[in-house]
Every structure is written in C-alpha cells, then in structure tokens.
Amino acid sequence: MFQDTLKVRRLDGFSITDLPAFKSEFSSGMDICANFLISDKKKEIIIPSSGRKMISTGLAIELPNNCEGQIRSRSGLAIDYGLMVLNSPGTIDQDFRGHLKIILANFGTEDYLVKQGDRIAQLVISNLIRPKIKLVESLTKTDRGNKGFGSTGIS
C-alpha cells in the first residue's frame, strides 16, 4: 500500500522551529531549517570560507514506503554565498530514524553565519527502485558504448 505521509519528530532538547515545508505550490523540495540545542548559549555557527560544518535540524523523520530522502543545496545560498550541501544529494535511507543533520560547505570567499531557524537545505522525497542484481557476460550495445566524461560534448 502506498503511503504518502512524511512523519516528522522533534527531538528533545531542541528549540521549536518550522517543520520541513514546501514554500510554493509546485516546489519539489521542502526547506529544512537549522536548529540548535536549547542548552547551547550561542544559537548560531560560523562556517569559515573553504570550511564545512555539520548543522543540526533537531528532527528525525520516517519516510513513506519505497522512498528515499535526498538532501540538496538551496540555489540562493549556493549562488549568493557559495554555500552547498557537501555530499549533495545526501541520501536518507527509508529505515533511518536518527537525527537529521546537514553537512554544509562554504565555497564562498567570506565566512557564513548560520542562525537558529535559517533555511539551510532542501529535502526531496523520491520513489526508490530496488532492482534484482544479475551478473551477465555482456551488456546491450548502444551508439555511445563506453565513452564517458565529456564524450557527448558541450554544444
């Protein structure tokens, strides 16, 4: 049976921030916010230029059946500040129930300040296909064949 609900749990000890949310009618990804422990005196973290930090969300999720979660960069942060999800897209497996954390890398020329509640990444839910694995002696031939890395050109 298809389940179309993303279950979200707020973790103990974290401030209350927005839940993942679509910001427009046809958004593919839900915005995810930074969330710091209530006990942290500072509700912000600096990502130095050329540096990276793990940012907490204070959330755990349960994905719909036969789905995966993908953590992606927000385009505005990428173009304006050089801030990107480092292993984008970061994969969240269907059976993961732990703290959702985001690895942000700063490829910009200035340090970047992440504050409590800032929208730092997007969560995209995708259907997952788990094919059977079959060892074969040959693969179907194509015009492209084994040509890779730039073989199709740029124009």
Residue 111 placed within a domain:
yes
Burial class (CB in 10 A: 0-12, 13-18, 19+), 55: buried
* pTM for this entry: 0.86
Task: Work out the mean pLDDT of the chain and round it to a whole number.
Answer: 92
Query: Is the predicted pLDDT of residue 126 greater than 70, yes or no?
Result: yes
Residue 24 placed within a domain:
yes
Residue 78 placed within a domain:
yes
Write down the pLDDT at residue 71: 97
CA distance 31 to 74: 8
Average pLDDT over residues 25-53: 93
Write down the pLDDT at residue 1: 47
More confident residue, 152 or 43: 43
Write down the pLDDT at residue 31: 97
Residue 148 placed within a domain:
no
* Residue 140 CA to its chain's centroid (Å): 34
Residue 142 placed within a domain:
no
Residue 2: pLDDT band by 50, 70, 90 thresholds? low
For 118, how many CA atoms within 13 A lie in the half-sphere containing its CB? 20
Average pLDDT over residues 67-74: 96
Residue 137 placed within a domain:
no
**What's the pLDDT tens digit per position in 18-29?**
899 999 999 999
Q: Are 88 and 80 in contact (CB under 8 A)?
A: no
Residue 141 placed within a domain:
no
**What's the pLDDT tens digit per position in 81-114?**
999 999 989 999 999 999 999 999 999 999 999 9
Q: Where in the sequence is the domain holding 84, given as residue range(s)?
A: 7-127
CA distance 149 to 103: 27
Strand spans (E) along the chain: 7-10, 30-33, 44-47, 52-56, 59-62, 67-72, 83-85, 90-92, 101-106, 112-115, 119-127
CATH number for the domain spanning 99: value is: 2.70.40.10
